[in-house]
């Protein structure tokens, strides 16, 4: 998918968002003001935290995303963008808005935020969507983040437009380039820090521009689900066992979220990776519009039990292993989540525009996606199999310890674990894997 396709789908995307906002605002407000966000300053300092834009703003406006822009949506009117471009010589002001998207908006360049109140006119009937209540109040926007408005908008965000799909295909292409560079770095003996540097260079992302902090985990670190450090020290070649890398990229604010696990040489852990690849493909093949994601998660848990049993690590009926929480020890997270302008996109457990909440099944509290899979959704499929010492200790102290081959399991602890994650879209009734065209397993 080329940027040109993203470009040609954009007008229809804006039309879809306009309809959604008209519906969601009905009876709540005359319009909405979406604030891109403002810089946050560190305590007692003059350094700013990285700017992370409001996801609602990213839904509408392609990048680059800059601070203190306000998008004004009034149903029936062309959307208006108040684009903040201060005169500044300490910092580089944002470039003029340009590109395929600008024709959809009435754009007003704003030099000073003091001008906002006048530009908004009577703001009393507008709803503010943003994270700066004091600034909004100063602009006359006292109706802030109405829950019922956000619930309706969040529900709809699960259904991606063609433009959004195009952005996420491109984000996956970029992420794949990073993953290939990271794998090469691992094979060359790089440290976690160096692997992350290779990833960032290959994706041309600054660290805070990736959609989440890359997880670059060597050996036992692969058993820490959200491992957050980058060890600077290189390991000896004979000490390198595993690389688990969970790293993404963005296109116009939309995320890719991709994980691969590599090991060196053959042996039981390499065989486990191969088995997990097979099961990851198998669970993707089970996906159909209307299927229950919670059922897929439970099916994956049974597949994990079978992988463990086939590898001689466990001896237990798969249904029993799931029912009694034995597989939870090895895969304590959910099968995946919605993906979009946020990596963990909103409303994965929301089943209607009113905000009805569908909790995960008992015993699977980390499952983020419980609504039925439907046309236009984009989500991850990311089964994992880990050897986490604290969870293994609990299993060993419990009533199913006898079902585990502890010698074989302990031999796997130095390898950490496995996660394999692709991004999946439901397009025209079929499953489209956004990741594998660029990054085969
Ligand atoms: Mn993920």
> Can you read off the two tokens belonging to residue 199?
């990833």
Beta strands 31-35; 126-129: pairing state: parallel
**12 CA to centre of ligand 1 in angstroms:** 28
In the reported structure, the alpha carbon of residue 382 is separated from the centroid of ligand 1 by a whole-number distance in angstroms of 7
Could you tell me if 118 and 168 lie in one domain?
no
* Residue 440 CA to ligand 1 centre (angstroms): 17
Distance of CA 35 from the midpoint of ligand 1 (Å): 27
Query: What are the strands of the beta sheet with 378-381, ordered from one edge?
Result: 378-381, 422-427, 430-433
| CATH code of 414's domain | 3.90.230.10
Q: How far is the CA of 203 from the centre of ligand 1 (A)?
A: 18
Average pLDDT across the chain, whole number: 97
Is residue 82 included in any domain, yes or no?
Answer: yes
235/185 Cα distance (integer angstroms):
12
Whether 182 maps to a domain, the answer reads no
The secondary structure element, H or E, covering residue 118 is helix 116-120
User: What single string gives the DSSP state of each residue in 366-434?
Assistant: T----SPP-TT-EEEE--EEE--HHHHHHHHTSTTGGGB-HHHHHHHGGG-EEE-BEEEEEETTEEEES
Whether the Cβ atoms of residue 41 and residue 48 lie closer than 8 Å to each other? yes
- Kindly give the distance from the C-alpha atom of residue 184 to the centroid of ligand 1, in angstroms, as a whole number: 22
Q: What is the pLDDT of residue 265?
A: 87
Cα 273 to ligand 1 centre (Å)? 18
Decide which of 103, 124, 157 is a domain's last residue: 157
> What spacing in Å lies between the alpha carbon of 275 and ligand 1's midpoint?
20
The 10s digit of each residue's pLDDT in 206-228 is: 999 999 999 999 999 999 999 99
Whether residues 75 and 166 fall in one domain = no
The model's pTM: 0.97
CATH number, domain with residue 118: 3.40.350.10
Give distance in angstroms: CA of 359 to centre of ligand 1: 19
C-alpha 299 to ligand 1 mean position (Å)? 18
The answer to whether residue 234 sits within a structural domain is: no
Query: Which of 105, 127, 157 is at the close of a domain?
Result: 157
CA of 225 to the centre of ligand 1 (A): 11
- In a shared domain, residues 7 and 39: yes
Both 253 and 142 in one domain: the answer is: no
- The per-residue pLDDT for range 255-268, each reduced to its tens digit, is 999 999 999 989 99
Query: Are 244 and 417 contacting, i.e. CB atoms less than 8 angstroms apart?
Result: yes
Cα 336 to ligand 1 centroid, rounded to whole Å:
6
Q: What is the 3-state secondary structure (H, E, C) of 149-171?
A: HHHHHHHHHCCCCHHHHHHHHHH
pLDDT of 233 above 60: yes
Residues 283 and 397 in one domain: yes
Q: Could you give the angle at which helices 162-187 and 192-203 cross, rounded to 10 degrees? A: 140
Which tens digit of pLDDT belongs to each residue from 324-359?
A: 999 999 999 999 999 999 999 999 999 999 999 999
For residue 4, what pLDDT is reported?
Answer: 54
Q: Could you tell me if 288 and 348 lie in one domain? A: yes
Average pLDDT over residues 299-320: 98
**What end-to-end distance do the CA atoms of the chain give, in Å?**
20
Q: What are phi and psi of 102, to 5 degrees?
A: -70, -25
Average pLDDT score over residue span 24-29? 97
Question: 214-232 burial, b if ≥16 CB within 10 A, otherwise e?
Answer: bbbbbbbbbbbbebeebbe
Mean per-residue pLDDT, 352-374: 95
CA of 257 to the centre of ligand 1 (A): 5
Q: How far is the CA of 44 from the centre of ligand 1 (A)?
A: 35
Same domain, 255 and 389: yes
Give how many domains the chain has, as a whole number: 2
Q: Which domain holds residue 50?
A: 3-157
Decide if 204 is inside a domain.
no
| Mean pLDDT value across residues 138-146 | 96
Residue finishing a domain among 128, 157, 186: 157
Same domain, 169 and 150: no
* The pLDDT value given to residue 227: 98
Q: Is 441 inside a domain boundary?
A: no
Could you tell me if 94 and 168 lie in one domain? no
Rounded to the nearest angstrom, the distance between the alpha carbon of 76 and the centre of ligand 1 is: 37
Residue 120: closest CA among 48, 57, 51, 31: 31
Q: Residues 64-75: pLDDT tens digits?
A: 999 999 999 999
142 shares its domain with 275: no
In this structure, the answer to whether residues 149 and 28 fall within a common structural domain is yes
| Whether residue 139 is found in the same domain as residue 271 | no
Q: Is residue 206 part of a domain?
A: no
Query: Measured in angstroms, how far is the CA atom of residue 214 from the centroid of ligand 1?
Result: 11
Report if residue 119 sits inside a domain.
yes
The position carrying tokens 């902090």 is 213
Residue 87 CA to ligand 1 centre (angstroms): 40
Domain contains 187? no
């Amino acid at each position: 998918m080329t940027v040109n396709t993203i470009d040609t789908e954009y007008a229809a995307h804006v039309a879809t968002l306009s309809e959604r906002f008209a519906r969601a605002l009905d009876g709540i407000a005359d319009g909405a003001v979406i604030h891109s966000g403002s810089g946050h300053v560190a305590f007692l300092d003059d350094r700013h935290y990285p700017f992370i834009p409001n996801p609602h703003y990213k839904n509408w406006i392609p990048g680059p995303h800059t601070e203190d822009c306000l998008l004004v949506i009034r149903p029936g009117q062309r959307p208006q963008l108040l684009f903040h471009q201060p005169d500044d010589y300490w910092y580089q002001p944002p470039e003029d808005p340009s590109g395929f998207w600008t024709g959809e908006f009435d754009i007003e360049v704003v030099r000073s935020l003091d001008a906002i109140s006048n530009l908004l006119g009577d703001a009393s009937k507008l709803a503010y969507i943003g994270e700066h209540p004091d600034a909004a109040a100063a602009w006359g926007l006292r109706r802030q983040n109405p829950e019922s408005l956000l619930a309706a908008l969040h529900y709809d965000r699960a259904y991606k437009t063609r433009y959004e799909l195009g952005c996420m295909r491109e984000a996956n292409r970029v992420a794949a380039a990073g993953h290939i560079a990271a794998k090469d770095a691992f094979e060359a003996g790089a440290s976690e820090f160096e692997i992350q540097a290779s990833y960032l260079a290959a994706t041309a992302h600054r660290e805070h521009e990736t959609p989440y902090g890359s997880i670059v985990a060597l050996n036992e670190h692969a058993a820490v689900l959200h491992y957050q450090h980058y060890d600077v020290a290189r390991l000896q070649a004979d000490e390198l066992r595993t690389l688990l890398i969970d790293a993404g990229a963005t296109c116009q604010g939309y995320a890719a979220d991709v994980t691969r696990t590599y090991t060196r040489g053959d042996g039981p852990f390499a065989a486990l990776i191969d088995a997990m690849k097979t099961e990851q493909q198998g669970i993707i093949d089970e996906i159909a519009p209307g299927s229950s994601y919670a059922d897929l998660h439970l099916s994956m848990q049974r597949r994990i039990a079978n992988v463990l049993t086939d590898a001689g690590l466990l001896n237990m009926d798969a249904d029993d292993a799931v029912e009694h929480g034995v597989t939870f020890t090895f895969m304590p997270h959910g099968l995946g989540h919605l993906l979009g302008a946020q990596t963990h996109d909103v409303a994965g457990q929301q089943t209607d525009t009113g905000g009805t909440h569908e909790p995960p099944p008992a015993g699977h509290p980390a499952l983020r996606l419980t609504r039925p899979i439907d046309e236009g959704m984009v989500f991850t499929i990311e089964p994992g199999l880990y050897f986490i010492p604290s969870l293994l200790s609990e299993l060993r102290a419990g009533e199913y310890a006898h079902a585990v081959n502890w010698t074989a399991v302990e031999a796997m602890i130095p390898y950490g674990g496995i996660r394999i994650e692709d991004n999946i879209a439901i397009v025209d009734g079929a499953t489209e894997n956004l990741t594998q065209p660029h990054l085969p397993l």
